[in-house]
Chains A and B, each alone.
Chain A
Amino acid sequence: MGVLTANAYLAVLVPLLASAAVGVFGRRSMQLSCWGALAGSVSVLAVGVACVLEPAGRRSVSLGWLASSSGELTIGWHADGLAAIMLVVVGVVASAVVVFSLGYMRRDPDPGRYFALIALFTASMSALVLADSLVTLFVGWELVGACSYLLIGFWYDKPSAADAARKAFIVTRVGDAGFMLGLAVLWGATGTLAIPEVLGRVAALPASTATVAALLLFAGAAGKSAQFPLHVWLPDAMEGPTPVSALIHAATMVAAGVFLVARMWPLFAASPAALQVVLVIGCVTALGAATIAVTQTDIKKVLAYSTISQLGFMFAALGSGAWVAAVFHLVTHAAFKSLLFLASGSVIHGSGTQDLRDMGGLWRKMPLTAGTWMVGVLALAGIPPLAGFFSKDAVIGAVMQRSVPAGAALVAASLLTGLYAFRATQLAFFGRWRGDVQDVAESPAVMTAPLLALAVAAAASGAAAGPVSRLLGAEAEPLSIPIAVMSVVAALIGCLIGSGVWGRDAGVENALPRWLERWWMAARSGYGIDDLYRRVVVRPVIGVAAISYVLVERVIIDGIVEGIGRATRRLGHGAAELQNGDPQRYAAWIAVGAIAAVAVTVWLGR
């Protein structure tokens, strides 16, 4: 144990080596690659557990990496309570996902690449959470993004997957540009990027600097955690293999934005204005994404918008100052959302479709999957005594204290959460089977075992409130009964509407009243935000590039260059005329030349 806590970098090194080994040797062997990746994720879990149990042995290390004018940029690790929590989350989910993938990716011809990337992702995620400096954090941050890119586009010959991968990288990079500027501001203002030192000097910063820096870092967080208006990449990211969605796009990487704000908490706490922005963005995202989730027909898209919405809850908590509640919700969400994604993977694996309209009655054919899904859905809806109840209650309670309208928005989002969760449950697991395939069967044990493990976590991680608060050095907030009653009632209403309406008629969406249909279609297309970006950002940029290439580059800049070239040639032809055999003219030019030469010599010799 002591070895692990003192050498927390093993959580980066082991998966990294595993990734290299799998990439080189695991080419065609499913088993070998899987075991390699599992070794990586288990080592992360081991370090995480060790750091949780043995706070005394934790060590931080900082190495000089790059010298600059005002000091050295350092890299290193720092295994504090927050890092320990994140390592446990990453380790648990990654291990479950790796095992599940052994079944899910069974027929894939390229297991080596898949598991190597999963292991590389795990290593990068560990680097991100263990980072003791913003440089290390940014390195991990970008590398998890690259792994996400590579895994969304795992089936790269599918155009939609390749497009989705690129979109994910570029949209998050827009946020990362803000992140980089934030680094520069902090660097300029505090002269260091080592996290403890930056945070130590936050108090001395002018309020405006703190606000600017916090907002720029939040831009990066919003990109990574798919918050409005940078949320558009996450639904598309569902093109990746479903276990990848569970690991990267539900439990770990997308939560990195929340982690970043929690990690830099004193900076954000120093700027009420920045917190206000975080709160508003969080609430807008939580509510907006929930309304979209209600209308989706693809089971993974429902979960994707649900993830965006739940991340919105976390940011709302951060914006209200309740960063411990946000981390708590991060933990429980990681458990139940990765469970839901893996269960949906099991559904897709068994039924051969992701379209909720082609499912139905699956509980009879896939009872284990259905049972674990139910646990996940109840946890997501926040029904006691499952995990989501405790963390969501903590979040809503904190937000209510800060702002009643914001709290009300979250209660409404909770109602919608119950609604979309039970709509999806009804459509997938109840009613009659509407699909074409007849021999739908339960997934093999290698897939259901991780489901069961995560179901236990989703059911029980509500009890983590105390340990999480202790690790973060804060007091656990007591449960607020009125808030709890209100949010549970809202969630139950949502659940009842969802299962009632779609339980009666699975095709109810096809016969909506006119006023509702309008809104329904708008929500289904994500309120046209994608389309808007395409028209307002993407096409203009490409157009400007094409036009300026022709006009500025070819016609003006290169035109001048080529023009000078042509003029010189013409001048040359003209000068050739001078050599016409007339000695008097030659003599005159010699005289001019001589005078010029003398003049230059005199001038130079001054």
Chain B
Amino acid sequence: MTILLVLVAVPLAGAVVAWVGERMHEGSARWVALATTTVQGALTVMAMSTATVAGPAGSGGNGLVALDGLSGPLVSLTALLGIVCVLASWSTRRGPGAYFGLLLWLQAAVTAVFLAANILALYVAWEAVLIPMWFLIGVWGHEGRRHAAMKFFVYTFAGSALMLVGILVALRNGASASLGASAFAVASTAQPAVFWLLLAGLAVKIPVWPLHTWLPDAHVEAPTAGSIMLAGILLKMGGYGFIRVALPLAPEAATAAGPLLATLGVIGIVYGAVMALAQTDLKRLIAYSSVSHMGFVVLALAVGTPAALTAAVLVMVAHGVTSALLFLLAGALYDRTRTLEVARLGGLQRTIPAWGTAFLFGCLASLGLPGLAGFPGELLTFLEGFEAYGWWMVAVAVGVVLAGVYNLRAVRRVAHGPEVPAWKGLADLDWRERLAVGLLALPIVALGVWPSLVTSAASPVVAALVARMGR
């Protein structure tokens, strides 16, 4: 319990130290951030090993924070991406004190979202995520940063305002504030209202088609670390919130909404892939691939069996590391070329071989190659989806083919082909970038080979959750 509070407190304290420290000693903020995220990583490992990850969160009492097999993988993902983000932002020139301070604040807030054992604590943390992210995009972003930051903020804030109403309605209708309480569901009559209000906030976050258009703008304009946190973690808050809050609060309404959600998920898979195919900017392409991958999460949530929910967690973690790797590489490339216009790139495998190899690896992971992280979760979603919705899965299969097309098209146009004279002499990945790539590549392989790393933790929790819902 205490260690969980420390998990949130450490990055918060680090944020202050980074901000103050930079004023006293220039160049110290990034070291503070690196130390903080590393300590948080170590603490996460400790917490994961000591926690009884099998039981549902907070089932013991009415605590503020709890760690279980559902939040564990996402807390670990957050800790990992925290370190990666610091490494990716190492050469930030502009206001590093404030920058790393905000990054650590974001880190604390997201960790709190996943650890919260109380619905109000979760909501507070949920909103606390928005503020640092808004600054990170709006101040440290690229040309269109103002508009993108505003769009991101207003869109997600509107969503979470509706979510708050949903929470209040739920509390008025018999829900307990503790997420672990045994009698959690609200009265049947109130369920549709609660579910749809909650979903408004969750669906924007995931994002569910057609509420996704904030995502490409925000991803493209955000600084590298911002994109990594957005794609890697923030989208997962939506799926997590669905399993943790919406499903237990309004199980009947969720079941009723299944077919609609499944439709939107399948549309998202195909639509995101088609949009990725049309992109000329590498970062935007990766952003749309996120829409496609998160469509699998929506589909899995819609199916709602314990196995499908486990698959949703698996896809979320897998997409977390994979998209983080791709955004990291896109950022590293932009630092060198100042452009991500696909037409101007090419032959980078020859020019910067380490970058090229890592990019190829990331794209293979993204297209769902077996042996890498994306495959097990998407396969399980596909099989569970077929049992629930039958031949609609043909559309998903089309999406799987298209994932191959847009990913390999990107490899072909960016990394393969003859060298572009303009980029000759470009520096390859340095040690810190290689370290970041390695930190992401390791779990990508590990999860692909042995998905039980996530599922053995998540599946008992979701099974208990579903059982409690009386489905």
**Residues of A bordering B, CB below 8 Å:** 65-70, 73, 135, 138-139, 142-143, 146, 149, 153, 156-159, 162-163, 165-166, 169-170, 173-174, 176-178, 180-181, 183-185, 187-188, 541-542, 544-546, 548-549, 553, 557-558, 561-562, 565, 604
List the B side residues contacting A544 at CB < 8 Å: 274
Please provide the 10 A-B residue pairs with the shortest distance between their CB atoms, ordered closest to farther: A162-B416, A184-B386, A549-B278, A177-B397, A139-B370, A545-B278, A545-B277, A68-B307, A558-B213, A156-B416
Tell which of B370, B408, B416 touches A138, judged by Cβ atoms closer than 8 Å. B370
List the B side residues contacting A173 at CB < 8 Å: 400-401, 404
Whole-angstrom CA separation of A231 from B282 in the bound complex: 31
The answer to whether A67 touches B455, judged by C-beta atoms less than 8 angstroms apart, is yes
Chain A nearest CB, measured from B415 CB (Å): 7
Closest Cβ neighbor of A150 among chain B residues:
B360
The answer to whether B376 touches A66, judged by C-beta atoms less than 8 angstroms apart, is yes
The answer to whether B404 touches A65, judged by C-beta atoms less than 8 angstroms apart, is no
Let me know if B306 is at the binding interface, CB within 8 A.
yes
The answer to whether B398 touches A177, judged by C-beta atoms less than 8 angstroms apart, is yes
A-side interface mostly: helix
The answer to whether A180 touches B400, judged by C-beta atoms less than 8 angstroms apart, is yes
Whole-angstrom CA separation of A545 from B398 in the bound complex: 14
The answer to whether B408 touches A166, judged by C-beta atoms less than 8 angstroms apart, is yes
Let me know if B83 is at the binding interface, CB within 8 A.
no
Closest Cβ neighbor of B150 among chain A residues:
A565
List the A side residues contacting B306 at CB < 8 Å: 69
Closest Cβ neighbor of A549 among chain B residues:
B278
Tell which of A139, A162, A187, A562 touches B417, judged by Cβ atoms closer than 8 Å. A162
The answer to whether B305 touches A69, judged by C-beta atoms less than 8 angstroms apart, is yes
The answer to whether A162 touches B397, judged by C-beta atoms less than 8 angstroms apart, is no
A-B CB pair tally, cutoff 8 Å:
134
Whole-angstrom CA separation of A561 from B397 in the bound complex: 30
Let me know if B451 is at the binding interface, CB within 8 A.
yes
Tell which of B172, B210, B412 touches A163, judged by Cβ atoms closer than 8 Å. B412
A561 with B172, Cβ < 8 A, contacts A146-B364, A184-B386, A188-B386 known? no
A184 with B277, Cβ < 8 A, contacts A68-B307, A143-B371 known? no
Let me know if B393 is at the binding interface, CB within 8 A.
yes
The answer to whether B398 touches A139, judged by C-beta atoms less than 8 angstroms apart, is no
Closest Cβ neighbor of B172 among chain A residues:
A604
The answer to whether A565 touches B404, judged by C-beta atoms less than 8 angstroms apart, is no
The answer to whether A69 touches B155, judged by C-beta atoms less than 8 angstroms apart, is no
The answer to whether B277 touches A541, judged by C-beta atoms less than 8 angstroms apart, is yes
The answer to whether B404 touches A73, judged by C-beta atoms less than 8 angstroms apart, is no
Tell which of B154, B371, B416 touches A157, judged by Cβ atoms closer than 8 Å. B416
Whole-angstrom CA separation of A67 from B307 in the bound complex: 7
Whole-angstrom CA separation of A158 from B275 in the bound complex: 28
Instruction: Mark out the residues of chain B between 202 and 239 whose CB falls within 8 Å of any chain A CB in the assembled complex.
Output: 210, 213-214
A66 with B386, Cβ < 8 A, contacts A156-B415, A170-B404, A553-B213 known? no
> B244-256: contact bitstring with A at CB < 8 Å (1 yes, 0 no)?
0000000000000
Instruction: Mark out the residues of chain B between 408 and 456 whose CB falls within 8 Å of any chain A CB in the assembled complex.
Output: 408-409, 411-412, 415-419, 451-452, 455
Interface centre among B310, B369, B383 (most CB of A within 10 A): B383
List the B side residues contacting A561 at CB < 8 Å: 151, 155, 213-214
Chain B nearest CB, measured from A132 CB (Å): 16
The answer to whether A181 touches B397, judged by C-beta atoms less than 8 angstroms apart, is yes
Let me know if B347 is at the binding interface, CB within 8 A.
yes
Whole-angstrom CA separation of A149 from B382 in the bound complex: 25
Closest Cβ neighbor of B370 among chain A residues:
A139
Q: List 15 A-B contacts (CB under 8 A).
A: A69-B387, A142-B371, A143-B370, A156-B350, A157-B349, A157-B350, A157-B418, A166-B411, A177-B401, A181-B386, A181-B397, A184-B387, A184-B393, A188-B387, A542-B278
Closest Cβ neighbor of B277 among chain A residues:
A545
Let me know if B318 is at the binding interface, CB within 8 A.
no
Chain B nearest CB, measured from A107 CB (Å): 17
> B351-395: contact bitstring with A at CB < 8 Å (1 yes, 0 no)?
000000000000010000111000110011011101100000110
Given contact pairs A68-B383, A181-B394, a sample of 7 additional A-B residue pairs in the complex whose CB atoms are under 8 Å apart? A65-B376, A65-B452, A69-B308, A142-B370, A159-B417, A184-B387, A604-B172
The answer to whether A73 touches B416, judged by C-beta atoms less than 8 angstroms apart, is no
Interface centre among A70, A541, A549, A562 (most CB of B within 10 A): A549
List the B side residues contacting A159 at CB < 8 Å: 416-418
List the A side residues contacting B386 at CB < 8 Å: 181, 184-185, 187-188
Let me know if B40 is at the binding interface, CB within 8 A.
no
Whole-angstrom CA separation of A181 from B380 in the bound complex: 12
List the A side residues contacting B404 at CB < 8 Å: 169-170, 173
A553 with B347, Cβ < 8 A, contacts A68-B307, A142-B370, A162-B416 known? no
The answer to whether A545 touches B275, judged by C-beta atoms less than 8 angstroms apart, is yes
Whole-angstrom CA separation of A153 from B415 in the bound complex: 11
A68 with B401, Cβ < 8 A, contacts A181-B394, A545-B275 known? no
Whole-angstrom CA separation of A173 from B371 in the bound complex: 16
Chain A nearest CB, measured from B383 CB (Å): 5
Whole-angstrom CA separation of A162 from B412 in the bound complex: 6
Chain A nearest CB, measured from B407 CB (Å): 10
Closest Cβ neighbor of A605 among chain B residues:
B172
Closest Cβ neighbor of A184 among chain B residues:
B386
A142 with B369, Cβ < 8 A, contacts A177-B400, A188-B387 known? yes
List the A side residues contacting B418 at CB < 8 Å: 157-159
List the B side residues contacting A157 at CB < 8 Å: 347, 349-350, 416-419
Chain A nearest CB, measured from B418 CB (Å): 5
Whole-angstrom CA separation of A523 from B408 in the bound complex: 30
Chain A nearest CB, measured from B449 CB (Å): 9
Closest Cβ neighbor of B450 among chain A residues:
A65
Let me know if B51 is at the binding interface, CB within 8 A.
no
Let me know if B459 is at the binding interface, CB within 8 A.
yes
Closest Cβ neighbor of B448 among chain A residues:
A139
The answer to whether A143 touches B412, judged by C-beta atoms less than 8 angstroms apart, is no
Let me know if B54 is at the binding interface, CB within 8 A.
no
Interface centre among B277, B393, B415 (most CB of A within 10 A): B277
Let me know if B405 is at the binding interface, CB within 8 A.
yes
